[in-house]
Structure 1
């Protein structure tokens, strides 16, 4: 298992890191300094990579869409800043989370500022030769992605132990809807915006959107598996975080469907470490880890199948690699 960029080695990632570093040099204002800290952390830049690759897959120019690619990361990082505050997680990507390093009030404001910066960044593409109509549509797509992300966040909070009483199948359906919103939103937004900015036709935009929907689900399903597969020193986040927040993740829900009484574990008052250990035992004993891994791989394969409608280019092949590696990564 590995990190995505280690396998892909995409030149676009270097371009994105360089552009991000140049854009966020830090000008002495505290908001900019905090944003720089958040944005230049050792993240994957996966969503910006998806945008530029989707652009190139329909024949567009990477250089013309770099501001929009960075905009997707602004939205993603802003959501992480807020998520860490909501979840009470003080560690992100192997170092102090933004609120732990700079205080909660300034972290919230910086997350808000990054969200507003999304739209001015996308608008920059018009000055680089992208038709204004495409820029406007990309703004609409990313705005909708942000709305869906928020809906997914709220829906995730509703997936609690009380929801288990409605039955395992109901909970799994609710999980899939939540994942399609919370994680799928930015995958879908990045890919669809990239295809639009690159001048893709309706069939190409539809294929790339379908790819993103399946890839987003695959990514989230595997992400839920990471606490049970990798050490927190590798993932950069405590493995017991979901347990501390009594969160019903994909393998936990599958374990519940297979007969494990995870509701008893989650209703208890044990410390997070003990709760996580009990959940690990449940997902292992029921085979939920293997079931979750198989479903994630299936979604990745469905994502790759959507790419059949695109011309066979290096960029289209890279999208396929991203989907495949998304379910083999360790962080």
Structure 2
């Protein structure tokens, strides 16, 4: 439950917060204007639920999905200001998924600060995620008031609803894979295509639709977003096995604690010797002591060469994303979409 002293601190913005994330470089749209609009829409009015939503949203992360939405709109000849509400809605949907993920995973840390479920309790975290999801639909409807054709708003609505359905299917698939060392790469890729890539694909597709893109442009940006999302998730899976594991913003052992066979684990399980394979299987069945799991599994993954194999897979999907952009006319926004591939794939947090 939310205690009175927590609400008082929220009202005064006194709860310790993470530092604002450094934004993506070279955006054609103004990321500062995007951040300012997000802040304006979630001004501190003292209502409990909105205050918790504000805590979940601010200070914002890199705003990857809203920026992809806006740049996609501009890349097909649209105006960023007309699409701004929908772009912010992409951030609401993304943050809602993180709030709900933290409940499922039992994670107490998100973006370097206490997670919503840890600070305010599971009940309020569920409602916060729900509030953000419905506010995303409300934001999309605003685009018609800004001059976007109603038919395009309806088309974007269809994409967002499908995106949400895919995300929940992916989250369910992830739960199903838990504890399964024999999971196939195909099952893993299907899961991340639904759970992670759906939001990034949806952001690009919605931007293209609302920006006035034709079917060819919408398809190109949809494919770009999906391939980028897959590469992005593979890189995320690799973070616990790199030198930057302490800067992840969430517990480095979250996937292992929840017995998830991420890509490095699956690749290692396929290639290591029997004793290392048995160690992976013990981890996935919860038979390893919690305190030793991360270090032991990291050593197995390092010995297996799984990190370099996974990284090569990420770069292949990144190349597919880059190729998809050839379906667009050459513009500064298309160049930014191409450049952001390298920035996201090389990210350390």
Q: TM-score, normalised by structure 1?
A: 0.94
TM-superposition CA deviations, 1:272-317 (whole Å, max 9, x none)? 3411112111111010011111110111111011101101111111
Q: 2:134 corresponds to which residue?
A: 116
Shift of 1:9: 5.7
Alignment of 1:276-315 (within 5 A): 276-315=294-333
CA distance in 2, matches of 1:230, 1:160: 26
Shift of 1:160: 2.5
CA distance in 2, matches of 1:88, 1:132: 41
CA distance in 2, matches of 1:252, 1:320: 30
Determine if the alignment matches structure 1 residue 29 to structure 2 residue 47.
yes
Pick one of 255, 264, 281 that aligns with 1:242: 255
CA distance in 2, matches of 1:304, 1:12: 23
TM-superposition CA deviations, 1:128-172 (whole Å, max 9, x none)? 0110100111111011101100000000011133x334xxxx521
Determine if the alignment matches structure 1 residue 141 to structure 2 residue 159.
yes
Contact 1:244 1:271 in 2 (8 A): no
Two-structure CA RMSD over aligned residues (Å): 1.5
Shift of 1:266: 2.4
Contact 1:42 1:93 in 2 (8 A): no
CA distance in 1, matches of 2:309, 2:262: 13
TM-superposition CA deviations, 1:210-267 (whole Å, max 9, x none)? 1111001000000000111143442111111111111111111111121341213323
Determine if the alignment matches structure 1 residue 182 to structure 2 residue 195.
yes
Q: 2:93 corresponds to which residue?
A: 75
- Go from structure 1 to structure 2 and tell me whether the alpha carbon gap of 1:11 and 1:192 turns closer, same or farther (over 3 Å shift): closer
CA distance in 2, matches of 1:324, 1:4: 16
Determine if the alignment matches structure 1 residue 194 to structure 2 residue 207.
yes
- Of stretches 306-315 and 233-242 in structure 1, the one that deviates more from structure 2 is 233-242
Contact 1:307 1:320 in 2 (8 A): yes
Higher helix share: 1
Contact 1:231 1:239 in 2 (8 A): no
Which structure is richer in relative contact order (CA contacts within 8 A, separation 6 or more)? 1
Shift of 1:42: 4.0
The secondary structure found in structure 1 opposite 2:181 is: helix
Q: 2:13 corresponds to which residue?
A: none
Q: TM-score, normalised by structure 2?
A: 0.89
Pick one of 198, 217, 223 that aligns with 1:210: 223
Pick one of 335, 338, 348 that aligns with 1:317: 335
